[in-house]
Amino acid sequence: MADKFLAEQLAPDRLESACRAAGQPLDLRRHAGYDHGYFFIATFIADHLRHHAALLNG
């Protein structure tokens, strides 16, 4: 929620609306104090990789 590009470039609300309109499930996580930099990615990368591994492994 602390990313300077959140509203203008990342636009998570638009992604959320598009997924809802398409019936696409979405787990959109918002975290106070994080931007889209190294510390955000380093903190949550394991969850992200588990998500993709589960999809790839069926």
Write out pLDDT tens, residues 4-57. 999 889 999 999 999 999 999 998 988 888 888 898 889 889 998 999 999 999
Q: What is the pLDDT of residue 29?
A: 87
Cα–Cα distances in Å, from 11 out to 17, 19, 38, 54?
10, 13, 19, 26
Q: What is the pLDDT of residue 14?
A: 95
23 is written with which tokens? 């019936």
3-state class (DSSP) for residue 41: helix
> Tokens 């380093």 — which residue?
42
Q: What is the pLDDT of residue 58?
A: 80
Listed residue (41, 38, 27, 37) closest to 4, CA to CA:
37
